[in-house]
Amino acid sequence: MNPSKQSAKLKLTFDKGVTIPSLIFIIGVCLFSVMFPTMVNSILTDIKNFIFVNLNWVYVWCVTIFVVFLVFLLFSKYGKIKLGSNDSKPEYSFFSWVSMLFAAGMGIGLMYFSVAEPMQHYSTDAFSESHIISRAKNAQLYTFFHWGIHAWAIYGLVGLCLAYFTYRYRLPLSLRSCLYPLLKDKITGKWGDVIDIFALCSTFFGITTTLGFGVVQINSGLETLNILPETGFVYQLLIVAVLVSVAVFSATSGVDKGVKILSKINVVAVVILLFFVLFLGPTVYLIGSFTYGLGNYINNFFDLTFNTHVYEEKTLPWFYNWTILYWAWWISWSPFVGLFIAKISKGRSIREFIAAVLIIPTLFNFIWMSVFGNSGMWIDLNIANGALSALVSDPDALMFRFLEYLPLSDILSLAVVCIIMIFFVTSADSGILVMDSISTKNSSKSPKIQIVFWGLLLAALALMLLNAGGLQVLQTMTLITALPFAVIMILFVVSLMKALVIDYSYYEKGLSVSTVPWSGEFWRQRLKTIVSFKTKDSVKKFIEEQALGAFNDLKDEFEINGIKAEVNYIQESSKIYLEIRHNIVNNFIYGIKNQKRIVSEYLVDDSNLPDLESNITYFPKTYFGDSREGYDVQYFTKNELISDVLKHYDRFLKIIADESNEMFISSDNNDLGN
């Protein structure tokens, strides 16, 4: 192999301004957490408690704003705007897309908390005075609340902002891009680096702690199945080594292969497991409780959203340790999940994106939590005599102890372990890809050694923290960082709304009122054109005789007026366009292409309609540099084509003269007519 080519392939693409400070902070925090876990955890816990007690209203209001904003966009006129150019198409099938966003968004947490959380709400002292039936209803209601629309609104907002500014504005897939309407070119400087450093550290810490807890649960499951003799660190090291190796292999395969395939496998596996537990458990009770729980959630939606428990002092500690902790946890995870969701969402409309992200995972979470959580409470009350309630302090083992009360418990436990392993891998590989994307400012040419580096660092620090008991420290610090990021997310809302208003007005802005209607001067020629269907060659002839002449005349006249214009004719595809290039704003493009049209067979067979030999015909269709929908110009004369171009140029000048459109017409969006 050529040495120069080999060195080019191994050239690292890390951005030093983001990667070096991030690594210093990540490694420094982890070392402190390992060397002084008790002291650091005590300090950070005090800070976290102060925030949760005194600033919990910030989380409540922020999350509420996120939900209201996304619901508004869902039903607004802005919902039809694409995450990309107007003619862009989704890169992944709907099932693949939903599978990947779901696996990245919830993953191990669903397995870890599906029995544990409802059981903890059910048995907590905060609701001990309530009747046992009321406690069961509250357990389901609060579990729905924590894993429902509010959680996915947090993820959805970050993912939507990233996808919109990345694919619509063609900015880097980076959190800094979400503030472009507010910061403009400052996003490429130090402010942008600070935002990306925060995103990289937050992503790393969130994944590390979650994977650490996942390893403990996998180890507990393997011990339950007698595959491993105990839950020691040596076995956890082996589990991490195997699973991270698979995650790195999956990540180096890319999103289209490893991540997508594993996500599909996992979704199918969890659905099968769900049906097994549903039919092996108290089926009628579970279906009835889900139905009631869904209605209860809808009825109490606004009360849950705004309830700060200020009048219920006994439940305040529970409120801080559950609802506020969850909002902080989802916010701290949103840079990672949002980046990954954005990476796979190009071509979706805003309405499709929000509807899918808010409704589909939420509904599945409700079904999942109902089946597992309500089964656990039913078994605890009717069969286990409180044995499951006694295990709420040991969530790692609770899932497997619960399965022991069902038929085929060993098979179900093995299935759960396998699913957790796949969730572990999908969370790790998508996280590795996201961290590499942030650290390289979304470079598409990263060598595989960088993927390996992030995988090894993730495994090494997770194991180091697991062995020293420092995972709790890392989790606490991650929760603290959620507060400033919640404020940044409010700025995302302002930024996105500002961009959408400009975007909508840009594409909806019509032509000048100076439209020239047809006159009767060329009526015979127009009638002949109307009753004759064009072939590919006849459209090509129209382009060469009418359009080329019109564009060349315009080019000469523009140059007389001091404006340089170009006429490009691509004979192979019968495509022509006039382009006026700009250094600061978008290029002006007016093009005509040979467009195929399939007509009805009835038209071919009807004797009193124009002759047509086949059901395929062609027509000259306009197109523009900003991907607005074009139209048929086959009836235009040369002078009418010139007039039409000038009308679009007049529209173009009016748009770029409006200061509010400045950010939307950046020259970064320039693209040759195609």
Mean pLDDT of 496-515: 70
Contact (CB, 8 A) for 115 and 404: no
Query: Does the pLDDT value for residue 22 go beyond 80?
Result: yes
Domain parsing of the chain, residue ranges: 13-501, 520-669
Confidence of residue 143 (pLDDT cuts 50, 70, 90): very high
* Cβ-proximal residues to 658 (8 Å cutoff; 6+ apart), any chain: none
Residue 606: predicted pLDDT = 53
More confident residue, 659 or 570: 570
For residue 295 the two structure tokens come to 């209605």
**Residue-wise pLDDT tens digits, 366-404:** 999 999 999 999 998 888 888 888 888 777 778 888 888
Q: Which of 170-179, 271-280, 372-381, 652-661 has the lowest mean pLDDT?
A: 652-661
- Least reliable range by pLDDT among 142-151, 531-540, 545-554, 623-632: 531-540
Q: What is the pLDDT of residues 408-423, one digit of tens each?
A: 888 888 888 888 888 7
pLDDT above 80: residue 179: yes
DSSP assignment of 259-277, as one string?
A: IHHHHHHHHHHHHHHHHHH
614: pLDDT confidence band, cut at 50, 70 and 90?
low
> How far apart, in whole angstroms, are the C-alpha atoms of residue 290 and residue 436?
41
Report the pLDDT averaged over residues 178-204. 82
Q: What is residue 515's predicted lDDT score, i.e. its pLDDT?
A: 42
Distance CA 576, CA 569 (A): 4
Q: Is 527 exposed, middle or buried (0-12, 13-18, 19+ CB in 10 A)?
A: exposed
Which segment, 238-242, 413-417, 564-568, 630-634, is predicted with the most confidence on average? 564-568
Q: Taking the CB of residue 511, how many other CB atoms lie within 10 A of it?
A: 11
The amino acid sitting at 197 is I
Would you state the pLDDT for residue 631? 85
Integer Cα distance of 489 and 62 in angstroms: 8
For residue range 634-671, list pLDDT tens digits in order.
Answer: 888 888 888 888 888 888 887 777 665 565 555 444 44
What pLDDT, on the 0 to 100 scale, is given for residue 430? 76
pLDDT, position 629: 77
Confidence of residue 258 (pLDDT cuts 50, 70, 90): low
Per-residue pLDDT at 282: 92
- Residue at 615: amino acid letter: N
The pLDDT of residue 159 is: 93
Name the CATH topology of 13-501: Amino acid/polyamine transporter I (1.20.1740)
**Distance between CA 541 and CA 574 in Å, rounded?**
9
Task: Identify the residue with better confidence: 364 or 185.
Answer: 364
Beta strands in 537-673 (DSSP E): 566-570, 575-580, 588-598, 616-624
What pLDDT score was predicted for residue 3? 45
Q: Residue 284: its pLDDT value, please?
A: 94
Mean pLDDT of the chain: 81
Residues 56, 319 contacting (CB under 8 angstroms): yes
Look at residue 305 in the predicted model and tell me its pLDDT.
Answer: 93
Across the range 534-552, mean pLDDT stands at 86
How far apart, in Å, are the Cα atoms of 539 and each of 534, 544, 595, 597, 614? Answer: 6, 9, 9, 12, 16
pLDDT reported for residue 59? 93
Angle ∠(179,184,186) on CA atoms, nearest 5: 90
Higher pLDDT, residue 557 or 236: 557
Chain mean position to CA 337: 7
The span from the first CA to the last CA of the chain, in angstroms, equals: 37
Name the percent of the chain lying above pLDDT 90.
Answer: 21
Residue 181 in this model has a pLDDT that exceeds 70: yes
Lowest mean pLDDT among 285-294, 354-363, 509-518, 624-633: 509-518
Half-sphere exposure of residue 382, counting CA atoms within 13 Å on the CB side? 11
Our measurement of the distance from residue 16's CA atom to the centroid of its chain's CA atoms, rounded to an integer in Å, reads 26
Please give the Cα distance from 297 to 308 (Å, whole number).
17
The C-alpha atoms of residue 448 and residue 249 are separated, in whole angstroms, by 10
Q: Which one has a higher pLDDT value, 139 or 477?
A: 139
* Cα 526 to Cα 531: distance, rounded to the nearest angstrom: 9
Cβ 331 vs Cβ 489: under 8 Å:
yes
Q: What is the mean pLDDT of residues 548-577?
A: 90
Residues 417, 534: Cα–Cα separation, whole Å: 64
By C-alpha distance, which of 178, 185, 182, 183 is closest to 161? 178
How many Å apart are CA 501 and CA 660, to the nearest integer? 10
Q: What is the pLDDT of residue 513?
A: 43
pLDDT at 244: 81
Query: Does the structure show a pLDDT above 90 at 617?
Result: no
- Percentage of the chain beyond pLDDT 70 is 85
Name the 3-class secondary structure at 569: strand
> What pLDDT is recorded for position 76?
92
Quickly state the pLDDT bin for 6 (edges 50, 70, 90): very low
Which of the 8 DSSP states describes residue 584?
S
Side chain identity, residue 131? H
519, pLDDT greater than 70: no
**φ, ψ for residue 659 (rounded to 5)?**
-60, -30
What is the spatial distance between Cα 188 and Cα 15, in angstroms, rounded to a whole number? 12
- pLDDT the model gives residue 298: 94
- Measuring CA to CA, which residue among 503, 528, 633, 651 is closest to residue 577? 633
